[in-house]
Structure formats: structure tokens, C-alpha cells
Structure 1
Amino acid sequence: MTSDRTTIPTARPRRVLFNKNFSVTAAQITALEGSGFEVWASHTDAGHGTLAAAPHTFLEPRGLIGDEYAEWLRRACQERGIDALIPGKERELLARHAPAFAQAGTAVLAPASEDTQRLLERKDEFLRGWDASVLPIPRWTTFDSLSSFDAAWDALSERGVRLCVKPARGIYASGFRVLTPEPDLGSFLKGELYQMSHAAAREMFAAPGLPTMLLMHTLEGAERSVDCVAWQGRLIRAVVRRKGPDGQRIEDRPDLVRAAEQIAQAYGLSGIFNFQTKDQSRPGDPARVANMLEINARASGGLRYSMAAGVNFPLLLLRAWEGTLDWDALPPVQTGLNVAEDKVVRVVQPEVAQAVSQEEVAQAPA
């Protein structure tokens, strides 16, 4: 895990960089306004909202990945005097490069080691090693061909239980579908995107090049997303939000907060992370048991909802990193709130020009 502190000059504010990441990064940047940190952001897209939110920006070269990207970013941080990097793009790889960044004066606040991050990204490997005493998991298996899909379907099929599929590696709801026995015209006309007939699935999974997929029991109860921030395996704060058709609700769930504490400790997490649960609910069964679905070693797309509960996730992380977090006076989590998103339009800074190319990077002095 890459959590070593770096010697920081005290004559100026500490400079924090968010490199290329998803749009939720803009909410984290906004949350740091007036915090005393000098916030920077970088991206390949000059019109991205992250750059519009940050007071200090620069552009990243398009198409640059891997070790070459890590080396380019290390030099960019050194040139700008960046004290801490909260990684987005290539965050797993950047955890490995953290010692080189530290030598150049930049602490990489990666959420975990490269191996741990990659384990959590591989949902099949994560589920195989999951401790079900923390939270149960639904019945599941994997397939990577039509024949193995058919065998998995037969093995998991139960009366009254729907099955669902999703890629073993993916983000958000990409590739997730609930399988129906027959085509459902009503669902199609209503625009329900996350359903697919069994026949359509078999036709699709007959195509060559199928990646490893999960087939699992569909949990029909409430879905929750738990946003967390931790430092060196110790949970700082967790916010539980229940998703609904008309918004989300911040809940008081000590059981899921305890699960967050166990997750942070078990995986040695040090940063903002998220896990997803869904209740198991069957006809005639009044119990609503939260089941683990996945852990994401990154900020969730819905983090802005949880920040409405009075938890400034990036500021808590940065205070823990610099050693000024008061663990005995953490901000309370406001529960019982109904929250909804109100999108904001920002003006992109006019001085941001077109992104640089890989060729320009190659020609730049080391």
C-alpha cells in the first residue's frame, strides 16, 4: 500500500492533483474549496467538467498508458510541485510507481496495493475469496462460452428465482442484464434496458471471444451503495444510501458500517472506496438480508449523494494523509435524508488548449 508521507514545504499550500478520472471527480474538487489545499486537475479532454471545476489545470497526452504514462505523470507532478496525487487513470499501476513519485516529492494516495486493486476489479476472484461471515453473497458461477453458460444456467436455476449476468471485469452497470424466460415486449416498450431474454442471451454468448462472465441469482430487494473513506486499513467514515426510483435515502445502518470497517481492515484500504449490496427477498420470506455484490477501490459515481450527508470524503483523506485528522472529532453522518442530484453547468477555463499528443511527449526533455 502506498501511503508514505512526503516532506512538504510549509511556505505554500499543499498541492493536490486529481489526474484523469470520471466526472464525479468534479464534486470532490468542489468539496475542497476553502480547505487550504491548492487543487489541481488534469485530463485529456480540454472540455471535461473536472478541468472546469479545478482552479489549476493541465492537459494529459491522449493515448498514453502504462509505464510511459506513469513516468510522464511523475515528471508533470515534479515540475508543478504536486505534493499528493489522488489517482484515477492507471490507479493500480500508479500504486506500483509510488516509490518513484515519492522520491520526486509526490505522495501517491492509492487506495491499496496494485495486487489488491486488481483483485477487487476481478469480480470472480473477489467473490471466491470473500469472507461470507461479513456479508452473505448470492449463489453465482462463471461462464465463458455458450456451453458453459448452459451448464451454469442449469446449475443455478431455481423456481421463483431470476438469474442475471454481468462481466467479471467492468464498471458501473456495463453488461449487466436480468434474464427473462421469454422476450418481454412490455419491458422493451417501457425502456427497461437491463433485461434480456434467455434466448437472446444464448445467441449473444455463442459469439467468439466471450470474456469471463458471472451468472448469479438476482436479488430482488433494496439496493444500497456504501461510500467509505479509510486510512491505512482504518475506516474514517461510511455513508449508506439506499437507491430508489425517485432519488436516494441516507440510512442509519450500523451493520453495514461494521462491514465497511471489516472491509477496510481486511484489504488494507487507504482512500475513498465503495461497496454495493442488495437485499435478498423472496416470496413469503419477510427477511431483508443485505448481500455483498462488489467492492470498488475508487470513488463511486454517486459519491456526491453521500457528501450531502455532511461527509467531505476527499478532505478527510487529505487530513489523514498529512497527519492532522482528529479521529476523536470526526464529523457526524447525517442520516434520514432524501437526496437527489441537481446537475451543474460550468464554464471551461479559456486558457485550456488542445491536448498534447504522444509525439509531443516523446520529444519533451526528460
Structure 2
Amino acid sequence: MSPPPRVLFNKNFNVTSAQIRALEGSPYEVWASHSDPHHGMLTAAPHTLTEPKGLLGEDYVAWLLDTCAAHGISLLLPGKERERLASHAQAFAAQGTRVIVPASEETQRHLERKDEFLRGWDEGILPIPQWRAFHTLEEFDAARAALQQSGVRLCMKPARGIYASGFRVLTEQPDPRSFLGGELYQLSMHSARELLSVGEWPTMLLMHTLEGAERSVDCVAWQGRLIRAVVRRKGPHGQVIEDRPDLVAAAENIAAKYGLSAVFNFQTKDQRGHAHLLEINARASGGLRYSMAAGINFPRLLLDAATGTLDWDHLPPVQTGLHVAEDKVVRAWTP
């Protein structure tokens, strides 16, 4: 009897712990590596490795190549240097490690550059909000003049970022109630202009703010074919797993358009009752654990597809109509 395939999750965000735990009892031997020996990923995994700190680029790829060979890793699900590793897949394959990346390095970087991605987007799949790119205060003012409409608020965000870093809804006047209420994502137009006056910025986006319901769609696909998609509507007291055939169809089109082999995510917000695309992330979302409550084991489906063991004719159904909230548990252990 052959040993189970060894799967390595290299350094990634803490939310990867949920994927690691989802593989308990699976036919895969799960490993995780991180430069922080106390990171949650290492707490979740039965087999762990400590990565050298500060290693980047080709040096990191070389370390990972040697590590996978030394530990007999069959499948690598990369977080750190994911885009770069796509271009080194052949070198890993030559020593028996399959690198599971969403797409080519070029395609992944295209999706990361939100301005480039929006320019090339097919609005026949989903509409997008009106937007402009800017780098300077002068360009911001020009974009603001072009986008201003009665009753529509503007927002800005960096063209490259994660977890809403740098995202702000712009208000015409300072709002003391929002400030005192702990609102983190609002900024007055005056403050925005003052901030932008310090010089040239990396590429930023100015967009129409969509005021309707916000949804996150978690997906898993293999070689451009969607396996499953779970639609989550975000709310103030948890999230709702919805039955949205239109957004599942959009997920199918996205997977096919970019030839994705990954757990990936896209975000939408409604405008006048219609979902508009905000962004596509060629990685697992921070809220993937909510979608797994719908009965979909995303990492297991991806690994089964990669190893040729997935039964495409008998995929697990998505349980919809669920209200999902997180019940945080504090754990203690003796090191």
C-alpha cells in the first residue's frame, strides 16, 4: 500500500488554518511551514517546518525546492511567492512535487493589478462600477470631476491590496458621528486631498460606491472548470448562504476565462438590485471558513481534482439558506 500524498501549505495568512483543519481524516498527509514557529498554521497542521526569516524571491524558491525534495512533498499549495512559483512549476515537477497554482504568473499578476484587471474585464459576465485610476492629487481631482454624480458617493482604494487595506468611502464633509462611532472606512474629501498632496502615490482607484448588499463568492475550480461555488451575503450579525444561480454562472465564466485551478474568490455589491463585480482574488478569502459551513470542503475538492480522484458526477451539494456566524474559541496549551 502506497503512503498518502504529502501536501505542504507554505507560509500564508492565518485563515489558512481552516483549510488545514478541513483536511483532517482525508487521504492526505498535511504539512505546513511558516517563519513564525507559533503561527496558527503550524498549530493546525500535524507536520510542520520552520521557514527561514526574511527569505524572498528566487532565494525563497530555491529553499522551498530543496525542502520539498528533502521531505518528499507531493503537492505544494503556495501562499508566499505564489505568483513566482507558477514559473518554477517544471523544476518542482522534475523532483516529484506538483505545484498547485491558480494560473500562470502573468495571469495571477494581472488579477492582482486591479486597474489592469478592470480595463480588461468582460462586462458581459458582470457589470463593474465606474472608476478611474490616479497617482497624484491633480489626477484625483480630475477623476473626481469625471465620476461625480448626484446621489452617488465615491470611494478610493489601492490598485493592489488585500483585506480592504487603504479602502475609504469619501464624504463631502467630516462626520464626527462616524469618527466617534468607530467607523474605519470613511474619510472626508478634504482629508483625502490633504493626504494625496504629499506627492505621487502608487496606482490608486477612485470608484462609484455601490450602496447595496455585499456578497463574497468562494469558489474552487480545476483547469478552468468550476467545481463548486458558495455565495455569502454579508450582514451586521453574520452571513447568509444564498442560492444565486446567476452568481454561480458568473463563477463558471470567471474560472473558464482565466483557466483557474484554485480556491479563489470574487466580491460583488448591488447597485439598483443588480450585482456588480468589485474584484477577483486568485486565493482563498479570509471568510472561506463561513462557506465551508455550507458543506463544501474546498481544499479537499481541489486536491482530489489535482490527483485525479475527484468524482465530478457526485459533487457535494451546497447547503443554502444557512445563517452563519463565528463563535470564537480561546485555546491554551503547554509548549
* TM-score normalised over the length of structure 2: 0.98
In structure 2, the residue matched to 1:55 is: 46
> Measured at CA, do residues 44 and 178 of structure 1 come closer, stay the same or move farther in structure 2, by a change above 3 Å?
same
Q: What is the deviation of 1:345?
A: 3.9
Query: Aligned residue for 2:177?
Result: 186
Pick from 262, 266, 269 the counterpart of residue 275 of structure 1: 266
Secondary structure class of the residue paired with 2:182: coil
Residue 117 of structure 2 corresponds to residue 112 of structure 1 = no
Residue of structure 1 equivalent to 2:232: 241
Shift of 1:165: 0.1
For 2:183, give the aligned amino acid. Answer: E
| Partner of residue 293 from structure 1, selected from 278, 290, 308 | 278
Would you say 1:337 and 2:304 are equivalent positions?
no
Q: Does structure 2 conserve the Cα–Cα contact (< 8 Å) formed by 1:18 and 1:88?
A: yes
Partner of 1:21: 12
- Aligned residue type for 1:210: W
Matched residue of 1:328: which SS? helix
1:331 and 1:344 mapped to 2: Cα distance? 28
Deviation at 1:24, TM superposition (A): 1.0
* Aligned residue in 2 for 1:147: 138
Higher relative contact order (CA 8 A, sep 6+): 1
User: Which residue number corresponds to residue 253 of structure 1?
Assistant: 244
**Is 1:326 aligned to residue 311 of structure 2?**
yes
Of the structure 1 ranges 322-331 and 207-216, higher mean CA displacement relative to structure 2 is found in 207-216
Structure 2 partner of 1:89: 80
1:52–1:347 CA contact under 8 A, matched in 2: no
Separation of aligned partners in 2, 1:14 and 1:256: 34
- Distance, in Å, in 2 between the alignment partners of 1:58 and 1:133 is 45
Aligned mates of 1:102, 1:324 — CA distance in 2: 19
Name the structure 1 match of 2:301: 316
Offset of residue 343 of structure 1? 2.6
Asked if the contact 1:47–1:348 (Cα under 8 Å) also holds between the matched residues in 2, the reply is no
* CA contact 1:230–1:269 (8 Å) conserved in 2: yes
What is the match of residue 284 of structure 1? none
Q: 1:32 to 1:346 in 2, by over 3 A?
A: farther
Aligned equivalents of 1:130, 1:38: Cα separation in 2: 39
Aligned to 2:31: 40
The 8 Å contact of residues 277 and 291 in structure 1, kept in 2 or not, is answered as: yes
CA offset digits 1:199-223 (Å, max 9, x no partner)? 0000001112411100000000000
When structure 1 is superposed on structure 2, of 86-95 and 204-213 the one drifting more is 204-213
Q: Where does residue 287 of structure 2 map in the other structure?
A: 302
Task: Identify which of 90, 98, 102 aligns with 2:89.
Answer: 98
Distance 1:28 1:269, change over 3 A: same
- Which of the residues 160, 169, 173 maps onto 1:169? 160
In 2, the alpha carbon distance for the partners of 1:300 and 1:12 equals: 31
Aligned-residue offset at 1:342 = 2.1
The one-letter code matched in structure 2 to 1:252 is D
How far apart, CA to CA, are the structure 1 residues paired with 2:69 and 2:198?
Answer: 47
Cα distance in 1 for partners of 2:331, 2:9 equals 18
AA of the residue aligned to 1:144: H
How far the C-alpha of 1:172 sits from its partner, in A, is: 1.2
Give the stretch that moved more between structures: 203-212 or 341-350: 341-350
SS in 2 for 1:149: helix
Q: Secondary structure at the match of 1:242?
A: strand
* Structure 1 counterpart of 2:9, one-letter code: F
Aligned mate of 2:197, from 176, 196, 206: 206
The residue identity in structure 2 corresponding to 1:110 is V
Residue 254 of structure 2: which of 256, 263, 273 is its match?
Answer: 263
Unaligned runs of 5+ in 1: 1-9, 282-287, 351-366
Counterpart Cα distance in 1 of 2:160 and 2:16:
22
> Which residue type is aligned with residue 155 of structure 1?
A
CA RMSD of aligned residues (A): 1.0
Correspondence for 1:360: none
Match of 1:76 in 2: 67
Instruction: Look up the match of 1:3.
Output: none
Residue 312 of structure 2 aligns to a residue whose secondary structure is coil
Q: Are 2:125 and 1:134 aligned?
A: yes
Structure 2, gaps ≥5 residues long: none
Among candidates 214, 217, 224, match of residue 223 of structure 1: 214
The answer as to whether partners of 1:109 and 1:271 remain within 8 angstroms in 2 is yes
